[in-house]
Amino acid sequence: MREPRIPKLDARLKTVFDLFPACDAGADIGADHGRLSCNLLAYGKAGRMLVTDISLPSLEKAKELLERHGLKDRAVIRTGDGLKALEAPVDAIAICGMGGELISRILSEGREYLYSAALILCPQTDINLLRCTVMSIGYHIVCEEAVMSAGRYYVVLRAEPGEINYTEKEIFLGPVLMRAGTETAKDYYRWRYDVESCVKDLDPKYLEWLKEVM
């Protein structure tokens, strides 16, 4: 019998996968269907994974997926609220598929559970707020990638321990992304310009900053 194929990741989760460092132990907070953890385990980027979600039905789907691919023995599957589900240190933590405000709350309230793990974050909204939170918990951004998925752009960032003070402009544009100069980054900024242009009472300087990097 042929082995079942590892589920393919969409462009957003593939970028999260790419930025996730090779490690002995990782965590997927808010894992939903478990596809990210399945790929990280199957392709050897993580030796073992904590797969957690506040939703029991979602975790059942993740459990079934990992069982189907013979990976369940390398995973701990646990319901839990944010980082409080971590009972031991891990090397890297992915938090995706949520708004930036929620991810910020998870990081701020669970700061004591980070244990200096690398953070791979992909907010659906409020990227500026999330960058501020990363800075406030004593982390700095080492990589940022803009990716088009399902008709819109996302920014995936990787943060590691290290104090830093970002300027307002760096928080708005992204301290790494604004210096990348790639066509993908420029396309993202053009897309964001269109989005920000519709915001009422937006300070004109933000649109000027976007024009500088488009």
Check residue 4 and give its pLDDT: 63
Domain assignment present for 184: no
Q: Are the C-beta atoms of residues 141 and 174 closer than 8 Å to each other?
A: yes
pLDDT band at 85 (very low <50, low <70, confident <90, very high): confident
pTM: 0.94
pLDDT at residue 104, as a whole number: 97
Q: What is the structure's pLDDT at 84? A: 86
What domain count does the chain have? 1
- Domain range spanning residue 93? 11-165
Q: Please give the mean pLDDT across all residues of the chain.
A: 93
The per-residue pLDDT for 3 is: 57
N-to-C CA span, the chain = 51
Vertex 121 angle, CA 165 and 182, to 5°: 75
Give the model's pLDDT for residue 59.
86
Q: Are strands 92-98 and 152-161 parallel, antiparallel or unpaired?
A: unpaired
Mean pLDDT for 83-92 is 91
**What sign results for the dihedral spanned by CA atoms 67, 50, 31, 53?**
positive
| Residue range 44-82, pLDDT digits in tens | 999 999 999 888 888 899 999 999 999 999 999 998 888
The answer to whether position 34 is within a domain reads: yes
- Structure confidence by residue, pLDDT tens digits, 109-160: 999 999 999 999 999 999 999 999 999 999 999 999 999 998 999 999 999 9
Residue 82's pLDDT is what?
A: 85
- State the CATH number of the domain containing residue 93: 3.40.50.150
Neighbours of 68 (CB within 10 A): 14
Assess contact for 50 and 40: CB atoms under 8 A. no
